[in-house]
């Protein structure tokens, strides 16, 4: 049973394979280094907030759909990571959603989740 080129699972599987490959490459590169890793001091709060936002995002997609949850996640994430210019954040968030709509819905004919509440 082969993989259908128009299958909705194709892109996530491709991304997963690439992520595993490059993560493995990074791990091997780090293990081969002879010097001690540098200790970085910083605030862990933004990292924890991003994990919380990601969890909320995954829970929200089935309920409110991709087109509402994605820009909210992107805007919250960018703001949390320190960028504070709201017009730029909004343009980037909705620009990404528009781009993903064009790629998946229009070009690839792959439906993005609309959510149960809509």
Would 113 be classed as within a structural domain?
Answer: no
Would 3 be classed as within a structural domain?
Answer: no
Would 118 be classed as within a structural domain?
Answer: no
Q: Residues with Cβ < 8 Å from 111, sequence gap 6 or more?
A: 8, 104, 105
Look at the block and give the residue holding tokens 């091997």.
Answer: 28
Would 117 be classed as within a structural domain?
Answer: no
Long-range own/partner contacts, residues 86-93 (CB < 8 A, 24 or more apart) = none
To the question of pTM greater than 0.95 for the whole model, the response is no
Angle of the 66-80 helix axis to the 45-64 helix axis, nearest 10: 170
Q: Quick one: pLDDT band at residue 32, thresholds 50, 70, 90?
A: confident
Sign of CA dihedral 44, 50, 51, 53: positive
Range of the domain at 80: 10-107
Write the pLDDT tens digit of every residue in 63-94. Answer: 999 999 999 999 999 999 999 999 999 999 99
Would 64 be classed as within a structural domain?
Answer: yes
Would 114 be classed as within a structural domain?
Answer: no
Q: Count up the domains in the chain and report the number.
A: 1
Q: Quick one: pLDDT band at residue 4, thresholds 50, 70, 90?
A: low
Top-confidence residue, 48 or 8: 48
């Amino acid at each position: 049973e082969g993989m259908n080129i128009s299958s909705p699972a194709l892109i996530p599987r491709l991304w997963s394979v690439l992520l595993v490959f490059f993560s493995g490459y990074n791990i091997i590169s780090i293990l081969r280094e002879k010097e001690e890793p540098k200790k970085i001091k910083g605030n862990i709060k933004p990292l924890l907030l991003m994990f919380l936002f990601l969890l909320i995002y995954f829970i929200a997609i089935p309920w409110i759909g991709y087109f509402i949850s994605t820009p909210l996640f992107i805007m919250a994430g960018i703001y949390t990571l320190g960028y504070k210019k709201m017009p730029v954040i909004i343009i980037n968030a909705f620009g990404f959603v528009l781009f993903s709509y064009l790629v998946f819905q229009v070009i690839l004919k792959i439906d993005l989740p609309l959510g149960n509440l809509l």
